[in-house]
Structure 1
Amino acid sequence: MSRDKLIAMTRNLVAHGAADTMEYADEVVRVPASAYTDEALFELEKRNIFRRLPLMVAPSCELPNPGDYKAMDICGVPLLLTRQRDGSVGAFLNMCTHRGNPVASGSGNASRFTCGYHGWTFKNDGDLVGVASAKDFGAVDKAALCLKRFPVYESAGLIWATLDPDSKLSIADYLCGYDELLKAFEFDGWTLFAQRTLAGPNWKTAYDGYLDFYHLPVLHANTFGSDFYNRANYFAFGPHQRLSTPSKFAIKVSGEDDQQMDLEALADEELPQEVLVQGVWTIFPHISIASFYGGGQRGAMISQLFPGDKVGESYTTQFYVMENRPETEADVKSAHEQFDFLEVVVRDEDYATGKRQHQALQSGLMKEVLFGRNERGGQVFHQWVERLTNASDAELLDIFAAEQREAAE
């Protein structure tokens, strides 16, 4: 069924490419400039979106082995992810239940975590197994003092967690069936080649760029080229979106040779897997996934975006994942060159522009920004941000139950 949906999207792109058309939004949409600069709104978004909705917190290949862990902070919430003995993933509040000190930092492999303040010890499944000087401390119920658990979900080689331990929102419902399509990337079993973190502008300013092909031949003229495509069709699954160029052609990369394929001439069963996942796949509110070819094989850059401490700041971790770990010196060099190129594009072009844009908007002299009919991805994104920021917890359940039913039809 997922392949059928992917083929239908591909045929949509081929038909529009052959006709030299694209799908347009109904109208030009205006978004208040204050949506990017208002500090009170920024804090509300952090609370009602990033601390309430499921977030893609790691690719599975970042925690491939039992005992692997990663500690991170998201909008003031300390999170600990662990790969447990049975292969499942645990997501915990990274705070010792004695005084709240984090029990882990960075990443590594460990079966237990010992708090560096008083020495309380927890298993990597969150259970409290040791109270230092227990006789002196006094009787406590260790089962009631385990690390606090967050809802967690692993699918399509990606890991989601919700930073609200009391959330009743199903992560699967939230994804609206999108994770079934993401399985087409075949990330299960892939390897994490490299990662880094970049400083960016306001989180919505940064995310706008992932949903926008319109800027590609202008902003990226020196990197991608001025003849690069600037059109995209958008496919929505609840708040999550895939955008891809309407074209009847695709490039098949094989070794050192690039071959142009006429997709109209191929039967459905002949469409290669890399063609079915072309374009940019976004997971609301903060993930972008794009395929690349480097190091002699398929790869992808997964960009994980979070708000910073201030309204004009964000940070993005870029994960470069590959189908297999490159073995030869030439392939390792090629993979690094591809990843380094993507850093230049995002840091020196996208995010540098976004920072200048945000600084200008903070003058308060421009009341609205525009999203054209050819920028439907940005329109949909901002509509969902506003809707979910203002929704109650009960309304969230209703919204995604309805989206899940629609996705199943």
Structure 2
Amino acid sequence: MSREQLIEMTRNLIAHGAADTMEYADDVVRVPASAYTDEALFEREKQQIFRRLPLTVAPSCEIPNVGDYKAMDICGVPLLLTRKKDGSVGAFLNMCKHRGNPLAEGTGNATRLMCGYHGWTYKNDGDLVGVASPQDFGAIDKAEFCLTRFPVYESAGLIWATLDPDSKLDIADYLYGYDDLLKAFEFDGWTLFAQRTLPGPNWKTAYDGYLDFYHLPVLHKDTFGADFYNRANYFAFGPHQRLSTPSKFAIKVSGDDDQQLDLEHLSDDEIPQEVLVQGVWTIFPHISIASFYGGGQRGAMISQLFPGNGVGESYTTQFYVMENKPETDADVKSAHEQFDFLEIVVRDEDYKTGKRQHEALQSGLLKEVLFGKNERGGQVFHQWVEKLTNASDDELLDIFAAEHREAAE
């Protein structure tokens, strides 16, 4: 993790805050309204983005112990994550090699997984170790029928997987160091306090909200307040982004006291760790991470967004992770209150608005939508979606090899 890079970003925010300015995009950008409503494009995005690019599939603290597993479905692909004997993570196609029956559902702990259809048994590293009634079934080489493995990568307390077993795109290249910055959250060793899944609108409509501070004092006037900031400076790491409000002040929460810090008067060494990760960090194409304070300690909400079955549907799993497990009843209550507040903000304000917006766009009478010079995050997101949806597999490798080289220079 490069504290120097985080300090540089923070100093940028302080300078703009002191000058009452922000960084702007070059111009207003127009995006076709059909980008949100076209069914064929939606299916292509699922194939070209969600079934081809590395996805953040879980926080590490969701499967912290050897034997832990998690089964989930992503755009029609059944995925199984396991914590193997050596502590590393495995990612597999959740289908028995006999007839394709899923081996597991939900979460649990098991070093061996038995198919509930015919009893074939696998170790949690994917190896087939048992065929029921082998004398009747016939001779097979078990090594040929191990679970299909997906590329998997764990870093910064997060787990990525690529839902293409033949993918040649290196996950670290795809991130090219962004995960080193995410280590500043210090998620390693954190605990998963609670999680839930919310239905939402079209996945891009939903994701737009995570990249947009412009709407905060308007849409969230009853929750955050009408005087809440609406500016955000934008920092790019290929398709991944950080947005944070330009300000020379920060709030440091300690117990029941809120302390306003004048960052201009602090040395680099005096700037607290939680200030360095303020704002919203996104991992393309579907993750948002934001810090909060509840239950007497630091926490964060990791929002994991996936397309739904139809163009107007998505679903978001919200993980509320905390630095330590809250111990007192009061701290547990406080953490639940923080998480419940965030549900209201997203479900009843962001996603309710997004659904109404999408229904209106489906009329076909608005031909394009606008992203202002102050909405650079949304501009760049849509540019990357279009670029990667239309890229061939070879072009995809070239794109991220080039991005990786530029980041290293």
Same fold by TM-score greater than 0.5:
yes
Aligned partners of 1:48, 1:204: CA distance in 2, in Å? 15
Structure 1 partner of 2:307:
307
**Cα distance per residue 1:322-348 (max 9 Å; x no partner):** 000000000000000000000000000
Question: Once the 2 structures are TM-superposed, how far is the Cα of residue 405 of structure 1 from its aligned partner?
Answer: 1.1
Structure 2 partner of 1:180:
180
Structure 2 partner of 1:377:
377
Structure 2 partner of 1:258:
258
Corresponding letter in the other structure for 2:344? V
Aligned partners of 1:209, 1:226: CA distance in 2, in Å? 17
Corresponding letter in the other structure for 1:318? Q
> Does the residue aligned with 2:246 lie in a helix, a strand or coil?
coil
Structure 1: runs of 5 or more not aligned:
none
Corresponding letter in the other structure for 1:137? F
Aligned partners of 2:20, 2:138: CA distance in 1, in Å? 75
Corresponding letter in the other structure for 1:22? M
Structure 1 partner of 2:319:
319
Asked if residue 249 in structure 1 is aligned to residue 249 in structure 2, the reply is: yes
Question: Once the 2 structures are TM-superposed, how far is the Cα of residue 407 of structure 1 from its aligned partner?
Answer: 1.3
Structure 2 partner of 1:396:
396
Asked if residue 329 in structure 1 is aligned to residue 292 in structure 2, the reply is: no
| Percentage of pairs with the same residue | 87
**Cα distance per residue 1:108-128 (max 9 Å; x no partner):** 000111111111000000000
Structure 2 partner of 1:386:
386
Structure 2 partner of 1:94:
94
Aligned partners of 2:300, 2:318: CA distance in 1, in Å? 10
> Does the residue aligned with 1:302 lie in a helix, a strand or coil?
strand
> Does the residue aligned with 2:214 lie in a helix, a strand or coil?
coil
Aligned partners of 2:261, 2:115: CA distance in 1, in Å? 57
Aligned partners of 2:159, 2:326: CA distance in 1, in Å? 24
**Cα distance per residue 1:37-59 (max 9 Å; x no partner):** 00000000000000000000000
Corresponding letter in the other structure for 1:211? L
Asked if residue 202 in structure 1 is aligned to residue 202 in structure 2, the reply is: yes
Structure 2 partner of 1:270:
270
Question: Once the 2 structures are TM-superposed, how far is the Cα of residue 408 of structure 1 from its aligned partner?
Answer: 1.4
Listed as ranges, the matches of 1:109-258 within 5 Å are 109-258=109-258
**Cα distance per residue 1:204-236 (max 9 Å; x no partner):** 000000000000000000000000000000000
TM-score (structure 1 length as normaliser): 1.00
Structure 2 partner of 1:71:
71
Aligned partners of 2:358, 2:303: CA distance in 1, in Å? 20
Corresponding letter in the other structure for 2:206? A
Aligned partners of 1:59, 1:110: CA distance in 2, in Å? 19
Question: Once the 2 structures are TM-superposed, how far is the Cα of residue 406 of structure 1 from its aligned partner?
Answer: 1.3
Aligned partners of 1:274, 1:408: CA distance in 2, in Å? 26
> Does the residue aligned with 1:73 lie in a helix, a strand or coil?
strand
Structure 2 partner of 1:85:
85
Asked if residue 11 in structure 1 is aligned to residue 11 in structure 2, the reply is: yes
Structure 1 partner of 2:34:
34
> Does the residue aligned with 2:360 lie in a helix, a strand or coil?
helix
**Cα distance per residue 1:347-392 (max 9 Å; x no partner):** 0000000000000000000000000000000000000000000000
Question: Once the 2 structures are TM-superposed, how far is the Cα of residue 176 of structure 1 from its aligned partner?
Answer: 2.1
Corresponding letter in the other structure for 1:310? G
> Does the residue aligned with 2:61 lie in a helix, a strand or coil?
helix
Aligned partners of 1:176, 1:216: CA distance in 2, in Å? 31
> Does the residue aligned with 1:344 lie in a helix, a strand or coil?
helix
Aligned partners of 1:176, 1:140: CA distance in 2, in Å? 42
Aligned partners of 1:302, 1:315: CA distance in 2, in Å? 14
